[in-house]
Amino acid sequence: MSSILFLFVFLILMIMKVPVAFSLGLSCLFYFVTNGVPLETMPQIMLGIFESFTLLTPPMFMLAGQIMNMGGVTERLFDFCKKLVGHIPGGLGHVNIVSSLIFAGMSGSATADAAGLGTIEINYMKKEKYDPGFAAAVTAASSTVGTIMPPSLGFIIYGSMTGTSIAGLFIAGIVPAVLMTLAQMLIVYFEARKRNFKIYPRATLTIILAAFLRSLLPMLTPIIILAGILTGFATPTEAAVISVIYAIILGAFIYKELSFRGLITTIFNVGKSTSKIMLIVSFASVFGWILTYEGIPAMLAEFLIGITENKYFILLILNVFILLLGCFMESISVMLILVPVLLPLLGTMGINLMHFGVILELNLNIGLITPPLGVCAYVAADIAGVKFEEVIKNIWPFLAVLIFVLLSITFVPQFTLFLPGLFGY
């Protein structure tokens, strides 16, 4: 009964639109008070989560992405992608998607992609007379690659919670990210045929090569990160710090577009964003402790196994459940709450943790563009100067293909596990 009341309080606070961190914290406090658990236990659990060295990684990757945004990197990437794929029917739509795939390898964040690179993408598309609602929809949809292509903030948090190799998760995300990109480009191609979008002349090999060389240094970022981790030269956290130093060198000394004032502002903004995330992480750790203490994970495992012992059917049920949660809750919150609950079930059913990590992350990314929350869709709508409803009207085909990719990687584990296997993960 106490666990039901505790969950009921959490749901009521969420319905009342209390911020997620405080909904978690207040419901946990309610449980501790009503069950006579010593209150000093709560801060001990909250602080204990920060003993993980890995949790230093997300803010470093966020900082590297933001510094590159301010240091003139995004414009060079966009120009290269325009020369590379601008001649395909759909023109700037394809440029938008391919740019997001490349930028994802630097920022590790969908919202950073939508807010940073998205500003350039949408402005270009509006200038070329693309429908603003469609431009915003493409930008929001393509941003979902942000936490699937390495480095991924979601994979770092998931790996630290489950003990799964973060390097392995990074590699596991590469094929799904490429599948997402190709699927979205297919939608743009068919939309271009219907709407008669502008097509750019095919660039010559010389022009493409020149644009590639201008953007080569920032495109080396994900290679440097992965190479450092895979060779054992650096841990994921150390690789994240290296990426920050590399971003500062590019923006301040090579491209000379990053000022000291801009760097300080960026650090301050990332600090604010990180503090919000870490507050959620700390309260979610207490929330997870209570769920485990009450035996909720074991009950859930018993319930689902009672329905079926087919692990793929269970994965299908979990997909539907996580997709629905992602429509109403922020992705990191969902991950922090669900993972401790689902771990015993995954172990019982023999579900590979690396495989499930990619499934979970893609599910949550789809939630970033799905109403009513749809954070990336809201960001893109704001940049394009259109109503949220206008973005959603244009985004359904992209949602459909993303769900198709989700089901593909769910039922064909080798899409995620083949590459990590080659590297011994």
- pLDDT reported for residue 111: 66
According to the model, what pLDDT value does residue 415 have? 95
Token pair of 15 as six digits = 């319905």
With beta carbons less than 8 A apart as the criterion, state whether 365 and 321 touch. no
Q: What is the pLDDT of residue 110?
A: 67
Q: Which of 214, 79, 61 is nearest to 150 (CA)?
A: 61
Q: What is the DSSP string of 168-192?
A: HHHHHTHHHHHHHHHHHHHHHHHHH
Banded model confidence at residue 352, pLDDT cuts 50, 70, 90: very high
Write the burial class of residue 75 (CB in 10 Å: 0-12 exposed, 13-18 middle, 19+ buried): middle
Q: Which of 275, 266, 355, 280 is nearest to 319 (CA)?
A: 355
Return d(Cα 362, Cα 398) in angstroms, integer: 13
CB 280 within 8 A of CB 20: yes
Report d(CA 225, CA 235) in Å as an integer.
Answer: 9
Measured over the CA atoms of residue 104, residue 106, residue 111 and residue 116, the dihedral's sign is negative
Judge whether residue 327 has pLDDT over 80. no
**Integer CA distances (angstroms), 123 to 148, 301, 382, 385, in order:** 25, 49, 12, 10
DSSP secondary structure, 337-399, as one string: HHHHHHHHHHHHHT--HHHHHHHHHHHHHHHTTSTTT-HHHHHHHHHHT--HHHHHHHHHHHH
Residue 409 has pLDDT above 90, yes or no: yes
Average the pLDDT over 133-158 and give the result: 87
Give the pLDDT score at 380: 84
Count Cβ atoms within 10 A of the Cβ of residue 276 and give its class: 0-12 exposed, 13-18 middle, 19 or more buried.
middle
Separation of alpha carbons 65 and 74, rounded Å: 10
Which 3 state secondary structure label does DSSP give 40? coil
Highest mean pLDDT among 168-177, 254-263, 295-304, 331-340: 168-177
What is the C-alpha to C-alpha distance for residues 224 and 3, in angstroms, rounded to an integer?
A: 46
User: Per-residue pLDDT for 126 more than 80?
Assistant: yes
Identify the pLDDT of residue 114.
67
Residue 197 has φ and ψ, to the nearest 5°, of -70, 155
Does the pLDDT value for residue 93 go beyond 70? Answer: yes
Which of 108, 243, 214, 111 lies closest to 170 in space, CA to CA?
Answer: 108
Query: Among residues 131, 124, 116, 136, which one has the least CA distance to residue 92?
Result: 124
Percent of the chain with pLDDT over 70: 95
Query: What own/partner pairs with CB < 8 Å and gap ≥ 24 does 16-23 have?
Result: 20/280, 20/329, 20/330, 20/333, 21/276, 21/279, 21/280, 21/283, 22/283
Residues 6+ apart with CB under 8 A from 243: 60, 61, 64, 106, 151, 221, 224, 225
Over pLDDT 90: what percentage of the chain?
21
Q: Is 203 helix (H, G, I), strand (E, B) or coil?
A: coil
Average pLDDT, the chain: 84
pLDDT at 107 over 70: no
Tokens of 335: 């991950």
Provide DSSP, 304-344.
HHHH---HHHHHHHHHHHHHHHHTTS-HHHHHHHHHHHHHH
- The reported pLDDT for the residue numbered 421 is 92
Average pLDDT over residues 238-243: 86
Residue labelled with tokens 């000291």:
260
**Average pLDDT of span 251-266:** 87
- pLDDT at residue 143, as a whole number: 86
Poorest-pLDDT segment among 61-65, 239-243, 336-340, 343-347:
61-65
Does 5 have pLDDT greater than 60? yes
What's the rounded mean pLDDT across residues 248-268? 88
- What pLDDT score does 251 carry? 86
Calculate mean pLDDT across residues 194-213.
86
Which element (helix H / strand E) includes 48? helix 41-48
Distance CA 242, CA 229 (A): 11
Tell me how crowded residue 237 is: count the other CB atoms within 10 A of its CB. Answer: 20
Residue 179: pLDDT over 80: yes
The continuous run of DSSP H or E covering 256 comes out as: none
Rounded mean pLDDT of 262-290?
82
What angle (nearest 5°) sits at the alpha carbon of residue 14, between those of residues 8 and 16? 105
